Amino acid sequence: MNIGLTLFGQTIAFIIFVAFCMKYVWPPIMTALDERKKKIADGLAEAERGFKQQELAERDAEHKISEAKQQAADILNQAQKRANEIVENAKSDATEEGNRIKEAAHAEVEKEVHRATEELRTRVSVIAVAGAERILKKEIDAGAHRDMLEELATQI
Amino acid sequence: MASTITSSQYIQHHLTNWTYGRHPDGHWGFAHSAEEVAEMGFWSIHVDSLLWSFSLGALFLFVFHRAARSMTAETPGGMQNFVEWVVDFINDNVRGSFSAKNDLIAPLALTVFVWVLLMNLMDLVPVDWIPWLAGQFGHFALGMDPHHVYFKIVPTTDLNITAGLAVAVFVLMIYYSVKIKGLGGFLGELSFQPFGKWGLPANLLLEGISLISKPVSLALRLFGNLYAGEMIFILIALLYSGGILWGTLGGFLQLGWAIFHILIILLQAFIFMVLTIVYLDMAHQHH
């Protein structure tokens, strides 16, 4: 084994190969790798952001749901109150109406009683006059004795 | 093959490169024997080593360049996936070991790792296959004696190849040391550490040795590991000529060693890359 020109041949080849590798092989590969690395990093950041946004949206949704629930409860309460109110109103209306009807009936009855009394009174006075006529067997001047008769009638 | 030649001839044959060089008488041509190769000395080119080395390097660049051209940031498929995996691995290593900023280091590390790995991987091809094919080709197409056709297919078992890489790394180390720290800074580092200016000769000696030992160890480590591995494959292959019993044993041994050797192949490529990065990182550091 002797050292010879082969060594220099190899050295020259080495230099050429390294130069070629440095110019045409390494840079494009590194560029692509870096580009992919960046892409992946971007993708991850995007995903992170998406995740955060989802979380935010979830929280928002939860908030809205609870708000809606609150609102629904409020509405329900109000409705309940209103219903109670209506029922109360209706009750009082009904009572009033009932009272009114009762009063009207009362008045009617009273009126009826009054009329009957009046009628009775006139009739009684007539009967009394007729009775008196018969008793006295003589004409009584109805005009002259009206006051007395009326007084009589009121006493009945 | 071993039936007509002795074991040592067989081994010798496997350890000899296909060499083109200057014969002692001054004319250039292919060597026909190990002795002729030895006589050529410095003025020789190991054609097989360089052929495989260039081919594998070109294969690496071809595959990676094709993947790089059709690179997308979308879902990667097939080849791109594999290439990205390798590039990511290299990039992690460079980031972990190299603290300065230099766009050369990562492509350099990638080239070193994949290229050395591919060259090492040739060690897993059974030792006789391709040399035998080459011998047949030389015999029938070129009318050569197949015993004189030498064809080593593992470039990293050739010290020239590993040293060639180490020399390039060494030059880069010196270049960046001088560039980052200035010539004065670099020489100062060599002269005034670790003992201060009064221990200058000792400093120079120590630092000089530590500097030189870096490329030497880089080259020798890779060469030694692969050469030893290759040697064991060759020795195992010798068993095939010893009858069916030895041959079967050899088969199992070769399988076992190949499986274990995968580890060495990967590890050595990795170590070569990491040390390249670390040495260049040291060149970028002020002490």
**pLDDT value for B34:** 82
**pLDDT value for B136:** 85
Percent of chain B topping pLDDT 70: 98
**pLDDT value for A1:** 62
What is the reported pTM?
0.75
- Complex ipTM: 0.88
Domain that holds residue B89: 7-284
- Give yes or no for A22 touching B (CB within 8 A): yes
A67-71, A150-154, B126-130, B268-272: range with lowest mean pLDDT: A150-154
Is B217 one of the annotated active-site residues of the chain?
yes
Is B33 one of the annotated active-site residues of the chain?
no
CA distance B19 to chain A (A): 10
Give the mean model confidence (pLDDT) for residues A127-148: 73
CA distance A32 to chain B (A): 5
Please give the Cα distance from B98 to B106 (Å, whole number).
9
Is 90 exceeded by the pLDDT of residue A14? yes
CA distances in angstroms from A135 to A92, A122, B61, listed in the order given: 61, 19, 164
Question: Per-residue pLDDT tens for B118-169?
Answer: 999 999 988 888 888 888 888 888 877 777 788 888 999 999 999 999 999 9
Please give the Cα distance from B168 to A14 (Å, whole number).
7
- Give yes or no for A51 touching B (CB within 8 A): no
Task: Say if B269 falls within a structural domain.
Answer: yes
Is B225 one of the annotated active-site residues of the chain?
yes
- Give yes or no for B108 touching A (CB within 8 A): yes
Task: Say if B1 falls within a structural domain.
Answer: no
Is 90 exceeded by the pLDDT of residue A88? yes
Task: Say if B2 falls within a structural domain.
Answer: no
Is 60 exceeded by the pLDDT of residue B243? yes
- Nearest CB to B42; choose among A4, A28, A33: A4
Please give the Cα distance from A29 to B73 (Å, whole number).
9
Is 80 exceeded by the pLDDT of residue A62? yes
Q: What DSSP line would sit under A58-114, residue for residue?
A: HHHHHHHHHHHHHHHHHHHHHHHHHHHHHHHHHHHHHHHHHHHHHHHHHHHHHHHHH
**pLDDT value for A142:** 64
Number of domains in chain B: 1
Whether B163 sits inside 8 A of A1 (CB atoms) is no
Residue of B286 and B124 predicted with greater confidence: B124
Task: Say if B38 falls within a structural domain.
Answer: yes
**pLDDT value for B1:** 42
Give the mean model confidence (pLDDT) for residues B39-54: 90
Please give the Cα distance from B23 to B38 (Å, whole number).
10
- Give yes or no for B164 touching A (CB within 8 A): yes
Task: Say if B146 falls within a structural domain.
Answer: yes
Residues of chain B with C-beta less than 8 angstroms from the C-beta of A4? 21, 40-46, 160
Question: Per-residue pLDDT tens for B83-112?
Answer: 989 999 999 999 999 988 899 999 999 999
Is 80 exceeded by the pLDDT of residue B113? yes
* CA–CA–CA angle B9, B12, B15 (5° rounding): 155
